């Protein structure tokens, strides 16, 4: 009798396990696929592409694992539950985000793979060598963890972004004009240079980057009193908050610097084949991704034409190869440049060299934050 009961229990356990697997598989297949996570404020992994090369290199297995992780049914709810449990344990880290002092959240920054960084540096050098007629500037901006490591929780590990910036500068500084964000941000470290709940710098941080770049280019940057500074939101909970789901945080505010002598603009977004006139999209202030208020968010290719006379403007054309740190920075440049072409190399698949020749580009700004540059091998595209 005891044996029959054990067998019945075993069958129930096996049946239950198989049922759970079946239900999970069915939920995964039937659950609608989304490309962008509002909770984590990032694009999710695309379905892996099967090729023999991908199979042999293990890229297929890695992409498949990332795809399943990103598209697991009700993933956002599980992230919230995990965060709530971690906070009950008084843990200061969740989902790769630390809860630091003064209301700041920080993303983990570990020691990078310097062999990969060497490849990135070599790609930049080859790109510069292939276009000797083009003046190139490379700006590398620290993230908040690089600027404020002393605000991390006690004994929280981190790697120095300043060391990474110096290492990159040593390898490409002879080929392009290198601008280290620490140089122009550290003198203002006591100011609100970064959002507390998001990975971007504030408009104030972007302003200091603009002023430094303008001086590097020989332009006269506008002073802060030449702008009307408007607070457009006081409810911004950014990407670090959405990833960590820490509760009880004070939202960030978002400011726009509106020139007192405005320059009209026309913006062509190649991705959607649309043209708009404003540098700011108010519709995003009512959404989770409020930072996309600047330039309407991420696009592969955007062209901004200003009302400045190309003959008298400080700069006729400028190509900016960038990540999203540039979005709150670019509006400042419209006071000096008649045409700004922006390429986000994470999403642009054309040949950048060909684009430069076809559009008469003679000046390039490569602008990235340290974490994105280190973690994203898309910079290798410039070497195509």
What is the reported pLDDT for 52? 67
Its pTM stands at: 0.81
Question: If you average pLDDT over every residue of the chain, what do you get?
Answer: 87
pLDDT value at position 92?
A: 79
Is residue 149 predicted with pLDDT exceeding 80?
Answer: yes
**Burial of 67 per CB tally in 10 Å (0-12, 13-18, 19+):** middle
Q: pLDDT at position 90, please?
A: 46
Residue 23 has pLDDT above 70, yes or no: no
Q: pLDDT (tens digit, 9 = 90+) per residue, 73-123? A: 655 555 555 545 555 444 678 888 999 999 999 999 999 999 999 999 999
Residue 128 is predicted with a pLDDT of: 95
Give the mean pLDDT of 361-372: 96
Question: Rounded mean pLDDT of 297-319?
Answer: 95
Confidence tier at 18 by pLDDT (50, 70, 90): low
Between 383 and 13, residue with greater pLDDT? 383
**The pLDDT of residue 9 is above 90:** no
Which pLDDT score, from 0 to 100, does residue 88 have? 45
25 vs 180, higher pLDDT: 180
- Give 206-250 pLDDT, tens digit per residue: 999 999 999 999 999 999 999 999 999 999 999 999 888 888 899
Q: What average pLDDT does the segment 139-161 reach?
A: 96
Q: What is the dihedral of CA 301, 280, 323, 171, to 10 degrees?
A: 100
Share of the chain above pLDDT 70, in %: 76
Q: Band the pLDDT of 151: cuts 50, 70, 90.
A: very high
87 against 306, higher pLDDT: 306
Q: According to the model, what pLDDT value does residue 247 have?
A: 81
Confidence at residue 89, expressed as pLDDT on a 0 to 100 scale = 47
Tell me the pLDDT tens digit for each residue of 40-75.
Answer: 545 666 666 667 656 555 556 666 666 656 665 655
Using alpha carbons only, how large is the chain's radius of gyration in Å? 24
Residue 310 has a pLDDT of 87
């Amino acid at each position: 009798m005891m044996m029959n009961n054990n067998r019945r229990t075993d069958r129930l356990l096996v049946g239950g396990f198989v049922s759970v697997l079946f239900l999970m598989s069915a939920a995964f297949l039937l659950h609608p696929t989304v490309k962008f996570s509002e909770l984590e404020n990032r694009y999710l992994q695309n379905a892996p592409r099967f090729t023999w090369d991908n199979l042999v290199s293990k890229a297929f297995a890695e992409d498949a694992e990332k795809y399943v992780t990103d598209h697991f049914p009700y993933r956002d709810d599980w992230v919230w539950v995990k965060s709530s449990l971690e906070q009950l344990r008084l843990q200061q880290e969740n989902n790769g985000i630390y809860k630091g002092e003064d209301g700041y959240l920080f993303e983990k920054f570990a020691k990078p793979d310097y062999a990969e960084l060497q490849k990135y540096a070599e790609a930049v050098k080859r790109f510069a060598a292939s276009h000797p007629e083009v003046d190139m500037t490379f700006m590398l901006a620290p993230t908040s963890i690089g600027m404020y490591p002393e605000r991390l929780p006690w004994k929280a590990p981190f790697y120095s972004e300043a060391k990474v910036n110096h290492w990159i500068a040593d390898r490409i500084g002879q080929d392009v004009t290198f601008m280290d964000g620490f140089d122009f941000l550290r003198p203002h470290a006591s100011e609100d240079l970064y959002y507390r709940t998001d990975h971007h710098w504030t408009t104030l941080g972007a302003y200091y980057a603009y002023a430094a770049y303008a001086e590097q280019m020989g332009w006269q940057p506008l002073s802060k009193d030449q702008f009307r500074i408007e607070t457009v939101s006081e409810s911004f909970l950014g990407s670090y908050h959405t990833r960590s789901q820490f509760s009880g945080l004070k939202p960030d505010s978002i400011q726009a610097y509106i020139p007192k002598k405005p320059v009209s603009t026309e913006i062509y977004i190649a991705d959607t084949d649309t043209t708009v006139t404003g540098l700011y999209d108010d519709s995003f202030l009512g959404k989770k991704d409020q930072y996309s208020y600047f330039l309407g968010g991420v696009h592969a290719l955007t062209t901004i034409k200003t009302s400045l006379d190309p003959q008298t403007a400080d700069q006729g054309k400028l190509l900016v190869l960038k990540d999203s740190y540039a979005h709150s920075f670019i509006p400042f440049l419209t006071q000096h440049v008649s045409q700004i072409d922006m390429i986000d190399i994470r999403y642009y698949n054309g040949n950048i060299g060909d684009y430069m020749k076809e559009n008469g580009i003679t000046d390039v700004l490569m602008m990235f934050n340290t974490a994105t540059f280190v973690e994203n091998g898309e910079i290798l595209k410039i070497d195509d």
